[in-house]
Each structure stands twice: as C-alpha cells, then as structure tokens.
Chains A and B, each alone.
Chain A
Amino acid sequence: MELVTDILRHSLFRLTSPPFLLFLLVMTVVYYSVPKKHQWKVLLAGNALFIGLYAGIMSVWQFALPLAVYLAASLIIYSVPIIIQRAGAERKKRAALIAGIACLSLLFVLFRLANSFILTINGFLPDGWRLSPISFSWIAPVGIAYFLLSGIGYIVDVYWEKYPAERSFARVALIAGFFPALVSGPIVRYDKISESLFTPHSFDYQKFKFGAERVIYGFFKKLVIADRASAVTGALFGNPETTAVPYIFGLFLFALQLYSDFSGCMDIMLGTAEILQIELPENFRRPFFARNLSEFWRRWHITLGLWAKDYIMYPLLKSKPFFELGVWCRKKFGRKLGKTIPSYVAMLALWIIIGLWHGGAPKYVFSSGILLWITIVGGQLLQPAFDKLSGFLRINRKSGAYGIFCNFRTLCLMCFAWLFFSADTLTSGAKAFIRIIRTFPGDLIHIGASAGHIIAAFKSAGYNLYDILILMFGFAVLLTVGILTEKMGFNVRQKLQDTNIAVEWFVLFFFIFFVIIFGIYGPGYNVADFIYNL
C-alpha cells in the first residue's frame, strides 16, 4: 500500500503514469454504476478532473485556471452556433461565424503561438531589444490545439446547416473537452460523437476487454518502443559530430519513435473510449504502407487531414476568388493548368495553416507545412516524367517489389521532413542536412566507424545489447500486426479471442509484464510527454 501511495505522490498525471490508470479505473466503475441517464455527466466531471489533474495540483491556480480557459472556450463554442441559428439575415450569420472563429483562433495564438513568434522575432533583434517571452502556456488546458479545431468545425457545420446547434451548454462542454480526445486528438466531429456520448450504455465485458487490450498495446508502443528510442535519437541529433550514416539511421529510428509515440497515445485514448463505449474516429491506418505522400497523409493523423480538407480546402476552392483564379488560369494556361493551379494554391494555404498549427516556429511551418506541399505538388508535376522513366526501365508497377520500393520512398521523404521537425530550429536542421550531404561519401568508406558511432549513441543513452534487442522485438511486433491487418485483413483482437483462452491470456499477460519490466520510466516513475502533445 505504501508503495502505491508513494508512486501516486511522485507521479505526474500523464497517460502512461499510474495516476491515469487509477483515474480510468474510478471513471469506469462510477460510469457504469450511476443511473444510465446520468452517465454523460460522469464523463463531464471526468473532463474537468482530467484537465485539472493534467495541469497539476501544486496550487489551486495551477489546477483551476486551465479549467477556466476550457469553460470559456466551451462557452464560445456553445453560444456562437446558437447566435448563428437565431440570426435572420445572412450578413448577421456570417458576422457571428467570423467572430466565433476569430475568438477561438485568438485563444490559439495566445496560448500556442505567441511565444514561438516572440522567440523567432528575437532571433533578428540586437541585444537589449529582445522581447521577453510571455508564458501563458501553463494556463492552457491540455489539448487546446485539438479542441479548438473541433470547436471551429462545429461552428462552421451549424453555419452550413449540416445539423442544428446543441442547446445545452453542459453537453457542448462535454464534447468540446471529451478527455480521451484531448492529449493528442483525434479531432472529433460534434454530430458523430454525440450519438454515442448521450446514449445509455450497459457494461459489456467484450468491449471492456478489447478496450483494455488496446490500452495495453498503446503502453507497449509508448513505453517500450518510443521512449526507448527517444534517448538514442536525442543523442544522435544532439551531437554536432554526428555524420551522415548515423544521422540517417537516427531519422529512421525517429520515424519508429514518432509513430509509436503518436499512435500509441491514440491506442490508449481510443481504448479508453472503447471501455466507456464511446466511438472516436481512428487517427492512423498503418501509414507506412502508403505508396506516396498524399496517401501517407490519408493514413497518418487522419482526422487532421479530413478537418483541413472540409474546413480549409473545400471552402477555399469553392470561393469566388478561387473560382475567378480558375477562370483566369484557364484562359492563360489552358484547361489542365487552369484546374490544377487553384488546387495547388489552396493546398499551399492548407499546409501553411497545418504548419502553424504544429507550433509557430519556422521549423514547423517548413517541416510540417511548406516542405510537404513542395513534395506532394512536385511529385504530381513530375508524375508524367516518372511514368516515362519506369516505362523506359521496364519496371512492372504491379509487382510487390515495386510496391515496397514506393513504401520505402515515402518513408524517406517523410524522414527528410522529420529531419527539420526533430531539429531544434530550422537553421540547425539545415546545418544537419548539409552535414549529411558532406559526410555521406566518407561514411560509406568508413562504414565501421559509422556503426561505432551508432553503438556509442546507444551507450551514451545508458543502453546495452538488450535494449537493441527489445527495440528490434518492438519493431517486429508493429510490423507483424501491420502486415496481418493491412495485407491479410485480420482483426488481431478478434483473432486472439478466437484462439483458445490459454493463448489469449498468455499473450495479454506477456504484454502487460513486458511493459512493466521493459518500459522506460524516468525518476519518480515519471514518464516522458507525448511528442504530439500540442
């Protein structure tokens, strides 16, 4: 007992720390014990508790201010659609829409972008003129970047008359801050999620088990793989002496780390929602099986891509200025370009907004925005040339080998973007890139030295051969589950249940103990934050 209280006292409230498991347990018990018509109120209380606990309990302010911001944002998200619905004239509806989006965007700029902007501007200012960063971030509720996007989506949906505005503030507040979607998304749609949120649910052992299995798998991804890889990638990227081959190795390892981190978080959250029988949209669909970048973005952070399509891309391309741009381009450049130029301009706007959303720093606008736009548009423009080339080389595009080549090419392009994403600043990313080019030929000659450098990075992280083997095992598990699901159409959890009960429980306990024994924990049982925790 003493050990348990000791763990709880010393842990931060994070998804992979013991207090969250306790929170989840209490939530589940209370949720299924209260009369069914009150179940959603339990979730609402859960939201408040989750936001407060996540912020911290060192002082009342630390706990309460983020809650106040969450309630204020919920109030905007609640009232604007009602104002839009009640306004008679289109002009008034539009004004309310713009005001609503502006208020929510202002909150985002204040809490997420202000400091990045100040730091970026400071880079250009002489000593003595630099602005001091204003730190509002500690009063921002967890996941503000995600629930503001969902909220904007809801306001716009009501403006488009897709569905009527919700009349109860408490219900809007529940959807806005639904805690399983807070830490790293998914970005929810109000009409879709409300169906399962406000329906009564009886405890269902099957769903509970499947949800719990998914939570355990998420823990495995995050604690065994992502947090183990992170010390190595940190050592490789942080060392200015790292040459080409070790750096490239680090980037591939970072791909594994980022995927395990982000999709592991999704597994924990979607598993949690499944335990409570709430349907959340999937955010990942085995992204590394994508053959090109556009497909990658339909499989990675899916809800962000869909949000950007519906609320940025479509309205832009349907707007009058873009219509006129299309007409002008048709006259000037012919039919084909007349169609594609407006799409490319809209895509640029979309990627810049997505880049800004990742954080105001130039490295995000570049690596998660403009660079991806360049590669997607460049790939489309060069497609005829690629077609000719593969015809000339007599490549069979239907062959499995070509498919794997396309998967690998997509992975390499993403690793190039992550080179900048993982760097401290855009400049240090560019420096690392130049260093990779410069040292690549030498590295190929002295391949032994490169391998030594990689091993040194593992050692400096305090790892030994076992850690390398555990990482390889983790990768093998991800790959096997990926291939079974993607290529063979398996539902892994269902298959596991269909085997005999001894095998099922053996696998379950194997993973539970594997996470407990081989998970990476910091001092005081604290765990690392999620990379995508915006």
Chain B
Amino acid sequence: MTREEIFMALDEIFQDEFDDDAIHVDETTTADDIDGWDSLEHINLIVAVERRFGMKFKMAEVTDMKNVGEMADIIAERI
C-alpha cells in the first residue's frame, strides 16, 4: 500500500467517524484541526484504524502520536 493509499483510507475512516464527508487529513493534521476529536473520539478512531488495516498500535503510541503523519508512519511499518 502506498502512502497515498493509506491517506485515502484514513480519509474514509475519519469521514465515517466524525460524520463529515468534507474531512481530509494530511501529514500535519492534529486533533486541534478537527471538531469533536476529543479523548474518547481518539480511541474510537484508533480502534477503527486498527480494524481497517488489520494492525495494532502499541499503547504508548496511542497517547504519544503527534499528528496523522505519525499515525501513517506506524501503519506503513506494520502492514
């Protein structure tokens, strides 16, 4: 899977989770950029990403990720 493909899949997941088709994520997107991305939504998002890509994040990564770019790095490493 290329990086573009990962981001396309991430777009779908984010749109689905936040009920908003206008959402597009990129390398620098953070929780501050998306309305409703609070701590509960964060873990729901993590679980949705794990389900979609069939991989697992480490617990330390869940809380330490700085932006969607870092999330994509971890996904690319594990699929």
Contact = CB atoms under 8 A, between A and B. Distances in A.
B50 to A, nearest CB: 8
A486 interface: no
Contact of A314 (B16, B51, B62, B64): B62
Majority secondary structure of chain B interface residues (helix, strand, loop or mixed): helix
Contacts of B60: 157, 160-162
Interface stretch (A215-223, A282-290, A315-323, A469-477): A315-323
Contacts of B38: 294
A315 B16 CA distance: 23
A313 interface: yes
Contacts of A294: 38
Contacts of B50: 318, 323
A325 to B, nearest CB: 11
Given A161-B58, A323-B51, A343-B40, A318 B46 contact: yes
A431 interface: no
A326 interface: yes
B59 A160 contact: yes
Contacts of B51: 323
Interface in A294-313: 294, 309-310, 313
A160 B58 contact: yes
A375 to B, nearest CB: 16
A318 B43 contact: yes
A453 interface: no
Interface string B46-66: 110011000001111011100
Contact of A317 (B16, B47, B64): B47
Contacts of A315: 59
A201 interface: no
B39 interface: yes
B44 A314 contact: no
A394 to B, nearest CB: 23
Given A310-B63, A323-B51, A317 B58 contact: no
A339 interface: yes
A76 to B, nearest CB: 21
Contacts of A335: 16
A313 B63 contact: no
A323 B47 contact: yes
Majority secondary structure of chain A interface residues (helix, strand, loop or mixed): helix
Contact of A309 (B39, B44, B59): B39
A343 B51 CA distance: 16
Nearest to A335: B16
Which of B16, B62, B64 neighbours the largest number of chain A CB atoms within 10 Å of its CB? Answer: B62
A162 B17 CA distance: 28
Nearest to A330: B51
Contacts of B62: 314, 318
Nearest to B38: A294
Contact of A318 (B17, B39, B40, B59): B59
Contacts of B58: 160-161
A160 B16 CA distance: 29
A313 B50 CA distance: 17
A323 B46 CA distance: 11
Interface string A138-164: 000000000000000000010011100
B54 to A, nearest CB: 12
Interface in B1-59: 16-17, 38-40, 43-44, 46-47, 50-51, 57-59
A326 B47 contact: yes
A339 B63 contact: no
Nearest to A310: B63
Interface in A21-48: none
Which of B47, B51, B58, B62 neighbours the largest number of chain A CB atoms within 10 Å of its CB? Answer: B47
Interface in A142-191: 157, 160-162
Contact of B63 (A314, A317, A343): A314
A315 B38 CA distance: 16
A309 B51 CA distance: 21
B43 A317 contact: yes
Contacts of A161: 58, 60
B43 A339 contact: no
B70 to A, nearest CB: 15
A343 B59 contact: no
Contacts of B16: 335
A171 to B, nearest CB: 21
Nearest to A347: B40
A162 B58 CA distance: 9
A508 B58 CA distance: 50
Nearest to B19: A336
Nearest to A319: B47
A287 to B, nearest CB: 17
B43 A313 contact: yes
A335 to B, nearest CB: 8
A310 B46 CA distance: 14
B44 A317 contact: yes
A394 B60 CA distance: 46
Given A160-B58, A309-B39, A310-B63, A343 B44 contact: yes
10 contacts: A157-B60, A160-B60, A314-B43, A314-B63, A315-B59, A318-B47, A318-B59, A323-B47, A335-B16, A343-B40
Given A314-B59, A323-B50, 8 more contacts: A160-B59, A162-B59, A162-B60, A162-B64, A315-B59, A317-B47, A318-B59, A343-B44
Interface of B: 16-17, 38-40, 43-44, 46-47, 50-51, 57-60, 62-64
Nearest 8 Cβ contacts at the A-B interface: A160-B59, A162-B60, A160-B60, A317-B43, A314-B43, A309-B39, A339-B44, A161-B60
